[in-house]
Amino acid sequence: MRDYQSRVESALDARLPIPDTEPVKLHEAMRYVSLNGGKRIRAMLVYAAGQLIGTDLSVLDAPACAVELIHAYSLVHDDLPAMDDDALRRGKPSCHIAYDEATAILVGDGLQSLAFELLAKDPTCNLPPSIKLTMIAKLAHAAGPPGMVGGQAKDIAAEGRALNVDQLKDIHLHKTGALIRAAVALGAMANEAIQPHTLDLLDDYATCIGLAFQIVDDILDVESNSQTLGKHTGADRQLAKATFPSVIGLQASKNMARSLYKEAECALDKLPLSAHMLRDLAKMMVERRY
C-alpha cells in the first residue's frame, strides 16, 4: 500500500501544472490541494484492481491520478462557504482559506478537466481508443449528476430533515460510493482481457466498501478528533445533517460497516483470482482511525 501511495504521489507531481508557470496562483493552488497528503485510497483501488488481472502499473498511473484529481476537486468545492464551509482539510487550511474562494472554485474546475485529459491522452495509458472512451464515460458518470455531484445535491437538500436509513444510504452510495466504484472499475477496465463477470463481482465489492467507508467516516466524526482526522469534527451536527450514527445509532453503524465488509469479501471469494490487495484495502477502510 505504501508503494501505491508513493507511486501515485510521484505520478500526480509529474502531471500537475509545473510550479511558477502562469497563472502561477492557480497552478500553485492545484498542487497545494492535490499533493497535500491524503490516504490515496481511490488510487490504491485502481492499482489493486488492475494488478488483480496483471495490468502493468505504468498503464494504471493515469487512471489512478484521474480519480485522485476528481476526489481532490470535490473536497475543494465541498469545503467552500456555500457548501460545508470548512476551514481545515488534511490538517492544513482549506483551499479557499489558504488562497481565496474564487481561486478555490477555479482549482476544482481545473482539476476536474485535467482528470479527463489524462484518461484521453496521457502517453502511458496506451489503450485502444474504445477502452479509453469507456473509461472516460465511466468516470464522468460517477462524478456527475448520476453519482457524486447528484449525491452532494441530495445531501444539501436533506439538511435539517429527518431521514431513514434507506434515504441515507442512497445519498452516500452516490456522494461517496460512486467514485470508489469508478476507481475499481477503471483499474479493471485498463486490461482488454477483463471478463464481464469479473467486472460485476468487483462492482459488488466496490459498492459495499464504498458505503462502509462513509459509515466509518460518520463514526469517526463522533469518536475521533480534529487533530487525528485532519479536519474539523462535529460539522455534520452543526449543519443538521443526518449521519449513520444519528439515524441508527453508533453500535448499529459499526455493525453495518462490518456486515458490508463481509459482503465485499464474499464478492471477492467468487473471483477466479487472488485478490489479497483488495481484501487488505477493504479491511483498512473499515478499521481505519483517520
* pLDDT attached to residue 154: 95
pLDDT greater than 90 at residue 91? no
pLDDT greater than 90 at residue 64? yes
* pLDDT attached to residue 224: 74
DSSP bridge partners of 93: 88
First-to-last CA distance in the chain?
16
What cell does 257 get?
460497516
* pLDDT attached to residue 233: 64
- Percent of the chain with pLDDT strictly greater than 70: 95
**Band of the pLDDT at 22, cuts 50, 70, 90?**
very high
**Band of the pLDDT at 90, cuts 50, 70, 90?**
confident
* pLDDT attached to residue 65: 98
The answer for 161, left when phi > 0, alpha when psi is -120 to 50, beta otherwise, is beta
Q: SS3 of 152, please?
A: helix
Read off the pTM: 0.94
* pLDDT attached to residue 272: 81
149-162 pLDDT, tens digit each: 999 999 999 988 89
Quote the CATH superfamily of domain 2-287.
Farnesyl Diphosphate Synthase (1.10.600.10)
* pLDDT attached to residue 46: 98
Residue type, position 161, single letter? R
* pLDDT attached to residue 47: 98
100-145 pLDDT, tens digit each: 999 999 999 999 999 999 999 999 999 999 999 999 999 999 999 9
- Give the position of cell 497528503: 37
Q: Which residue has the higher pLDDT, 224 or 25?
A: 25
CA distances from 3 to 47, 116, 187, 209 (A): 10, 24, 16, 21
Average pLDDT, the chain: 94
Task: Check if the beta carbon of residue 230 is closer than 8 Å to that of residue 150.
Answer: no
- 257 closest CA partner among 196, 203, 216: 216
| Domain coordinates in residue numbering, the chain | 2-287
Q: What is the mean pLDDT of residues 29-49?
A: 94
* pLDDT attached to residue 241: 81
pLDDT greater than 90 at residue 238? no
pLDDT greater than 70 at residue 234? no
